[in-house]
Structure formats: C-alpha cells, structure tokens
Amino acid sequence: MEIKTERLILRPIRIGDEKEIHEYAGDKEITMMFWLPNETFEETADFVKRNAQDWDSEDQTDFEFVIVLDGRIIGGCDCDLGHSEDRSYATLGWIINKAYRNRGYASEAASALLDFAFEKLDIDKVYAQCDINNAASFGVMRKIGMKCVNDKGTRTYPRTGITSGEYTCLITRGEWEKKRK
C-alpha cells in the first residue's frame, strides 16, 4: 500500500525505518507530540516493529505511515480507528522533521490521509486534535477543510505532567466530497 501525492509518498512503516524515524521522534523540542517513542532509539525500534507488524494484521485499527520525499523519510502520519469502538470515525495525526517544516508537506500528507480514510476505510467522520499552542497543526487542519468543533479540551502530557488546552477539529464525508469538487 502506497499513497502518492504530488510530491510525497506515504507508505506503511517498516523495519529499517528506525534511524530516520528516530531523527524526528527523538527531537526533545517536540514535547507536544507525546505519543511518539522519543526517549531512546530502542523505544523507537519497538514502535517501528509493533507498527510494521500491525500492517499484517486483519484487526488493524491504526494505520501508521511514513512520509517520504525524494526517497527520504521526512515525517510520519497515521489514521487511527482505535478511538471509535464501532469504527465509525478515524483520528488523524502527523509530524514533520523540523528540517522540512513550513513547506506544505504536512497539509499534503494530511489531505492524502483524508482520502484514505473516506475512500479505503469507508468512514463518515474524521477528527484531528492538537495542542492550542501548535498553530502549525491547527493550520493544517483548517487547510484540509476541517472545522474546529471544540476549543475547550485539555490534554496532560504524561512525561511532564503539564496540562494544556486542546483543539478538536472535524470533517465529515459530505464536507470532504464538496471540497473535492
């Protein structure tokens, strides 16, 4: 499975990706991306192994992709059904290596994930969330057609104990179809 965009390839995470993934996942400045295995290289290797194996599972709920530009992994993104017991909606997430930010890659990858969610997974709603201080991710959500449905959420970062505000954005199948026309 590969998703091709104008400039990028989104492909399943696989064994051998550890070094490039750890380059951005191990960046200590990315404190708001608490789901990443960013403490040690071994933690990243376990993350890669677990997610590569998930692609072979019939019960897969979290579709972890790497974002590839000119043969180099520049980030990661996922489409996760695991928050929805009946698999009626997905949540999206993305991260770009800081050396490649502010060039539209996150928006391009997130837009391709929307297509994947609505076309391949056949769901009706897609959500994304970000820290209220993460203007770049909030901008990506708006750029791909999502609308803020909750600006009163909070999140607590397990490694620091810090609590921050959270935006939740949504796009429905109908809104996505209108946007594509």
3-state secondary structure of 6: coil
For the segment 82-102, the average pLDDT, to the nearest whole number, is: 88
- Of 5-14, 86-95, 169-178, least confident by mean pLDDT is 86-95
Give the angle subtended at the CA of 113 by the CAs of 108 and 115, to the nearest 5°.
Answer: 100
User: 12 and 65 in contact (C-beta within 8 Å)?
Assistant: yes
pLDDT tens, residue by residue, 33-68: 555 656 788 888 898 898 888 888 888 899 999 999
Domains of the chain: 3-180 (3.40.630.30)
- Which region, left, alpha or beta, applies to residue 60 given φ > 0 means left and ψ of -120 to 50 means alpha? beta
| 141 CB-near residues (< 8 Å, 6+ apart) | 110, 128, 130, 148, 167, 169
Report pLDDT for 157: 79
Report yes or no on whether pTM surpasses 0.85.
Answer: yes
